[in-house]
């Protein structure tokens, strides 16, 4: 299934990504940000129902100057602390800023969110390719599209859909900006169950991958990874690369 998910990523099609039974236990829609169309926003809000967020690679977040929201809001009296997140006590949430592209009107319509998200995809691709990008000339915060910043050590440190989807993008060799949205259940008021998410995947012919599948593939991928065989647009500076890939893969 991992290969089908990687192919869907390359093709700009949706796939579904479940994290872990002992984490959120939640399935998200996932699609590469630069392929998002207004009808994809429609599908995520109708059939998903969660927040429509865009996960970006840590190297891109560094270069674009995108902080963690938990750092920015630490100065307010209610800033989240490490240990606050019930399904992951060791990490903070991955929220970065909520943004609108400056050419949007309200920022919330399917067309406006598509513009913001595809432009995020574009600036992530450019910054990963080493181009200088002036993020603030194109976007403003606060806005209607939350950015998620994947952890610097990706799956070594945190195993949310943010890191899982960015690891998949790296393996697929596509721009590491992936738009995700939680799938909610319409009857129980809870997250959609894994079984029901799988049924949805089958009905609409979408690949369904679990966090364990991604971890397995990532271990193998990382074992063969060197700067030389990483596609140019996903390469990071040496020090950032070391931070992401240098540790052992024995977990």
> What's the angle, vertex CA 92, arms to CA 88 and CA 94, rounded to 5?
105
Nearer to another protein (CB atom), residue 81 or residue 247: 81
In this structure, what token pair is assigned to residue 222? 């990382």
* Pair type for strands 177-183 and 49-56: antiparallel
65: left (phi over 0), alpha (psi -120 to 50) or beta: left
Check if 204 is active-site: no
How far is Cα 63 from Cα 92, in angstroms, rounded to an integer?
A: 21
Residue 90: Cβ within 10 Å count: 9
Q: Is 225 in the site for another protein (CB under 8 A)?
A: no
Query: Which of 42, 82, 242, 246 is the binder for another protein (CB under 8 A)?
Result: 42
Check if 181 is active-site: no
- In the shown chain, the binding pattern of residues 187 to 206 toward another protein, with x for contact by CB under 8 A and - for none, equals -xxxx---------------
Nearer to another protein (CB atom), residue 163 or residue 234: 163
Check if 100 is active-site: yes
Nearer to another protein (CB atom), residue 113 or residue 125: 113
Check if 87 is active-site: yes
CA–CA distances in Å: residue 28 to residues 66, 78, 179, 209, 214: 23, 27, 9, 10, 14
Please give the DSSP secondary-structure letter assigned to residue 105: S
Question: Interface with another protein by CB under 8 A: which residues?
Answer: 24, 26, 38-39, 41-42, 45-46, 49-51, 65, 67, 69-70, 72-73, 75-81, 84, 86-87, 93, 95, 97-99, 102, 104-106, 108-111, 114, 135-136, 139-142, 144, 146, 182, 184-186, 188-191
Which active-site residues does the annotation give? Answer: 28, 53, 87, 100, 144, 182
């Amino acid at each position: 299934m991992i290969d089908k998910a990687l192919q869907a990523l390359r093709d700009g099609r949706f796939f579904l990504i479940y994290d872990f039974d002992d984490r959120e236990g939640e399935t998200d829609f996932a699609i590469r940000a630069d392929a998002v169309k207004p009808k994809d926003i429609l599908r995520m809000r109708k059939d998903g129902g969660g927040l429509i967020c865009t996960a970006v690679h840590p190297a891109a977040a560094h270069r674009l100057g995108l902080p963690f929201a938990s750092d920015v809001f630490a100065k307010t009296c209610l800033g989240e602390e490490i240990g606050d997140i019930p399904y992951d006590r060791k990490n903070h949430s991955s929220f970065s800023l909520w943004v609108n592209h400056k050419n949007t009107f309200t920022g919330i319509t399917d067309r406006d969110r598509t513009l913001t998200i595809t432009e995020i995809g574009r600036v992530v691709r450019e910054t990963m390719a080493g181009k200088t990008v002036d993020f603030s000339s194109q976007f403003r915060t606060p806005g209607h599209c939350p950015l998620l910043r994947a952890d610097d050590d990706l799956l070594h440190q945190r195993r949310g859909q943010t890191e899982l989807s960015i690891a998949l993008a790296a393996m697929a060799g596509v721009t590491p900006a992936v738009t995700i949205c939680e799938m909610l259940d319409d009857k129980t008021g809870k997250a959609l169950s894994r079984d029901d998410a799988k049924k949805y995947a089958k009905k609409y012919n979408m690949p369904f991958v679990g966090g364990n599948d991604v971890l397995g593939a990532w271990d193998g991928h990382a074992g063969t990874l060197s700067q030389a065989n990483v596609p140019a647009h996903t390469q990071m500076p040496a020090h950032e690369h070391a931070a992401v890939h240098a540790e052992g893969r024995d977990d």
